[in-house]
Amino acid sequence: MKAAPADQRRLLDLADLDVRIRRADAARQNPPQAARVKELVAQRATQSQELARLVGARDDLRAELARIEADVAVVDARAERDASRLNTSANAKEAQGLESELAALARRKSDLEDAELSVMERLEAADAEVSAQESLIAQTQEEGARLSAEAKDQVATATRDAEAGRRDRGAIAESLPADLVALYDRLAARGPAAGLLRRGTCEACRMVLSGTDLNTIRQAQDDDVVQCPECGAILVRTEESGL
């Protein structure tokens, strides 16, 4: 195949744009924040389960405290009633029974107040645990929101880069001979399609060509399309080629 040396050199621009487009597509499809965001989603689910457990334990303590307070109210009402009856009772036996019951009620209230204090202390600790877990979840959500926003911005940037790269590539491809672009595209479908031959090295595959291969390339005309004997990429020859 024949192609003007200037057209062959423009294949390097196509190759650079193809690299740019591939990188932009990769960044668009898989932004660097994606893995961490996925971890945070799983972490948030685990933290939410733990919060539900802590809230359930706290609510149980609240219910227990409410029952104790209700029992204290019942004891207080009973004691108030017995005290009122004792003050008006003229029956010695009845008075003795009321005094005995008042003493039992006082002991019962003391036990309830001890239990109430214990539950209140546990409830205070449970409230602290719930608050700490809620704070932890808020931190996870904040990090996730920040990374998601960063990823969205990077995806938008990568999308613009890819679109710009494809526009530039299309403009260059249209300016080149169709058969040259067709060869380049066939080669690009399986790997590097064009590379500069610099000081006897193919920059598409980074292989140093043998003396025999270089001699063969020296004999080619300037407008001959030469391919690397190692990787098959189109070799773009310049004054730097070392021929």
14 and 69 part of one domain: no
**For residues 68 and 56, what is the distance between their CA atoms, to the nearest angstrom?**
18
Instruction: Identify the pLDDT of residue 132.
Output: 98
Domain of 138? 28-158
142 and 70, same structural domain?
A: yes
CATH value at residue 36: 1.10.287.1700
Cα(88)–Cα(114) distance, integer angstroms = 32
| Residue 137, pLDDT score | 97
Return the structure tokens found at 52.
């539900």
**Do 33 and 144 belong to one domain?**
yes
Q: What is the pLDDT of residue 39?
A: 96
Contacts of 8 (CB under 8 A, 6+ apart): 180, 194, 225, 234, 236, 237
Distance CA 148, CA 208 (A): 45
Asked which of 128, 158, 188 is the last residue of a domain, the reply is: 158
pLDDT digits (tens, 9 = 90+) for 74-96: 999 999 998 988 888 778 788 78
User: Does one domain contain both 85 and 135?
Assistant: yes
Q: In this structure, is residue 163 part of a structural domain? A: no
For residues 146 and 183, membership in a common domain is answered with no
Residue 78 and residue 9 in one domain: no
243 within some domain: no
Same domain? For 52 and 16 the reply is no
**pLDDT higher than threshold 90 for residue 229:** yes
| Residue 223 DSSP one-character state | T
Clarify whether residues 210 and 121 are in a common domain.
no
Point out the domain boundary residue: 108, 132, 158: 158
90 and 203, same domain (yes or no):
no
Return the structure tokens found at 87. Answer: 């003050």
Judged against a pLDDT cut of 90, whether residue 42 lies above it is answered with yes
pLDDT of residue 168: 96
d(CA 104, CA 106): 5
pLDDT more than 70, % of the chain: 100
Instruction: Flag whether 167 is in a domain.
Output: no
Q: What is the pLDDT of residue 242?
A: 79
Number of domains making up the chain:
2
The domain boundary, picked from 109, 129, 158, lies at 158
pLDDT level of residue 145 (50, 70, 90 thresholds):
very high
Q: Is the pLDDT of residue 207 over 90?
A: yes
